[in-house]
Amino acid sequence: MYVDPRFRKLLEPGRIGCMELRNRIIMAPMGTNFAAEDGYITERSKNYYAERAKGGVGLAIVGVGAVDHPRAKCMPNQVAVSDDKFIPGLSELAEAVHRHGAKIAVQLQHAGGVAAEESAQGIAPLTPSPIQPAVAEVLQDMTMQEVTSLMTRFANAPADMTTREITPEEIKRLVVCFAEAAGRAKRAGFDGVEIHAGHGYLIAEFLSRSKNKRQDAYGGELKNRARFLLEIIAAIREKVGKDYPIWCRMDGREFEIEDGITPADGQQLSVMLEQAGLDALHVSGYGGAVEGFYHAPLVYPPGNLIPLAEGIKKLVKIPVIAVGRISPKLGEQILRQGKADFIAMARPLLADPDLPSKLASGKLEDVRPCIYCYNCVGQIFWAESMYCAVNAATGSEADFRIQRTEHTKKVIVVGGGPAGMETARVAALRGHQVTLYEKERRLGGSLFFASTIYPDNEDFLHHLVAQVNKLPVEVKLRQEATPELIERSKPDVVIVALGSQQMTPRIKGGNQRNVLTVADIKQMLAGRFKGDGAKKLSVGQRAVLYLAGPFLRRFLSPSLARRLAKFWMPVGKRVAVIGGDLIGCELATFLVQRGRKVTILESGQGLAGDMAITRRWRVLADLRQGGVDMITEVTYEEITKEGIIISKNGERQTIKANTIVVAEGMQPGRRLLEVLKGKVPEIYEAGDCVELRLIRGAILDGASIGMKV
């Protein structure tokens, strides 16, 4: 079988204990909320894991298997391994994964102080020592709607709730729970078990001085704090035998936590765990409720946890699994350098379950990339089912199995943004005759602008464009699909995906020359310098853009735009951004990185409400660190040559700015839809022309419509 030499190490077989794996790519465990509320495995869960097995992973790890279900749950629809009644469903899941040649394990977990479902019922969670959850910290940067949702969910929890210290008797009971759960996993056909000793759950709380203040045999120095985990390992080994693979997910470090686990603690613990008989170590990390959480386990910057795995790898002989925003290229490099033995990936396999098989066949360009928006993780905070912004099929595999149609239709897609491209892609894969019209010189639509200000979008933009160009889709650039053209073409189906239009800001002085809209900036990126946006620029700025026009129209990419913007942009040194949603905050980040002093103004109560909370925490922290003033609940009074006059709490003030950028006022572009209604057999609308849907909504619309036509 051919294996792309670029990923030789990543794709070579490996072993954990006596378990042989076909490659070194592990599907990292994630909570999904796909199980039934009573803990049983669902068809949705089986389809989800089977799809990743079919895509070529060596090992799939089922996340957060509750060993004491229904107690100590961290999410409402959590997989249970706490009773023999769950074995049949677990067996079916194991069979579904084995059918495609992958191995499967389950992660054994007790949520400890993070047992949200108990807290919601007013039951104090168990922890090594009594602690009071940092509620105020968690609520930081949440919108009022989100706060209200949480308050409703936890209405039965006392405001001053303190966790309950676990007793020695309860410790003994839970050791048995872990061992019994491992025995069930083995009987169900699972190939191994992973003990979750990280991420702020019960075992990690024992290991961390920040949570463990006990004075008995389970507190104090590390060998005592590790006693609970070591007893669990011994009990599991006695239950399943010496040849059954057992490993542990551990924190190599806790970030931004006073008295948290240090790298030295992680290294010392790893030696203990090897001596206790574990077959591998899965080295992750953790951080505080907000500060630190985006360092780990979300992992920012990419590869932030690799040094932790490397440090432990030098001390132990058993395999080390590295995790934490590791791309295939970085994973291959880690393995070749001997920093780890296996690479665990979570979000990249949500975006593309076929990632391993595409790497093996040399089709790296076909891998659908993760954009690290963290919507998947954000869903879990609201006790909702996980989804992927760039892959509509994640968690809905049964609904998005692409099959060839028996009745080929003539399909016209109007608009080459993400919604249009995804619609065209799916419809073409199903065998329809697809023509895509885009009035600009390139495909991408708003995603081109989004990729310029948020770099992680760019690979996804290139992926969509490449897929459309590889398929039998007739792409007509620089051609506007007028109602007359569409009617002459006599299509069976028309999909309108024209995106949004930006309305002129209704602010006194909004037509000043120092005011730019996002639409103006998009025009500049498209190489068009006519119209109202160009008139606002100085003669020198217009001359620069005019002379650069031919080059920009032909060669400009988001990455090139970012590089050029470090040297020159048609904005002043002080910028006020009107609008504090995702677009405004990403634009502000982009400007700060290029030396601008930025103020974000928002008429609503919060910022970035359309951004996943887990990413919002990091973005707003970065903006604060970058000196950005963020002012909410403002009324815009007037734009002047000096800046913008606002009022807040009845007081007027002037925000000085050379340039005002309007990043709000987006409205659905529905004119074409209205004109075509009743004139074509089938018509649909997708993406931002429905409402502001962002990437997730655009891809979901495109995939759904492509499956429907």
How far apart CA 692 and CA 695 sit, in angstroms, is 9
The alpha carbon of 216 is separated from its chain's Cα centroid by a whole number of angstroms, namely: 41
Interatomic CA distance for residues 83 and 69, integer angstroms: 8
Q: Give the strand pairing for 493-496 and 682-685.
A: parallel
DSSP secondary structure of 594-656: TT-EEEEE-SSSSS-TTS-HHHHHHHHHHHHHTT-EEE-S-EEEEE-SSEEEEEETTEEEEEE
Angstrom distance (rounded) from CA 371 to CA 454: 9
What residues pair up with 682 in beta bridges, in sequence order? 493
Give the dihedral of Cα atoms 487, 489, 495, 496; nearest 10 deg: -50
- Sequence-ordered strand ranges (E) for 377-470: 410-414, 433-438
Q: Tokens 């659908």 map to which residue? A: 368
- Alpha carbon distances (Å) from 45 to 94, 184, 249, 295, 423: 11, 18, 22, 29, 26
Amino acid, single-letter form, for residue 354: D
Report residue 288 as tokens.
């505080």
Nearest-angstrom CA–CA distance, 681 and 659: 47
291-294: long-range pairs with CB below 8 Å, 24+: 291/137, 291/256, 291/621, 292/254, 292/255, 292/256, 292/257, 293/614, 293/617, 294/614, 294/615, 294/617, 294/618, 294/621
Per the CB < 8 A criterion, the answer to whether 663 and 425 are in contact is no
User: CA–CA separation, 131 vs 113, rounded Å?
Assistant: 8
Q: What does DSSP assign to residue 30? A: -
Could you tell me which of 595, 581, 423 has the C-alpha nearest to residue 495? Answer: 423
CB under 8 Å to 665, separation ≥6 — which residues?
A: 502, 503, 504, 505, 517, 579
195 is written with which tokens? 């003990």
What is the rounded CA–CA span in Å between residue 294 and residue 288?
A: 9
3-class DSSP string for 279-300: CEEEEEEEECCCCCCCCCCCCC
Quick one: which of 187, 236, 178, 202 has its CA closest to 118?
202
Residue among 114, 34, 122 nearest 80 (CA): 34
Q: What are phi and psi of 599, to 5 degrees?
A: -125, 130
Is 201 noted as a catalytic residue in this protein?
A: yes
Using CA atoms, how far apart are residues 196 and 585, in angstroms rounded to an integer? 35
Which of 48, 201, 437, 636 is catalytic? The answer is 201
Phi, psi of 151 (to 5 degrees): -65, -35
For tokens 């049964």, the residue is 398
DSSP H or E run through 178: helix 168-187
383/73 Cα distance (integer angstroms)? 11
Cite the active site residues. 201
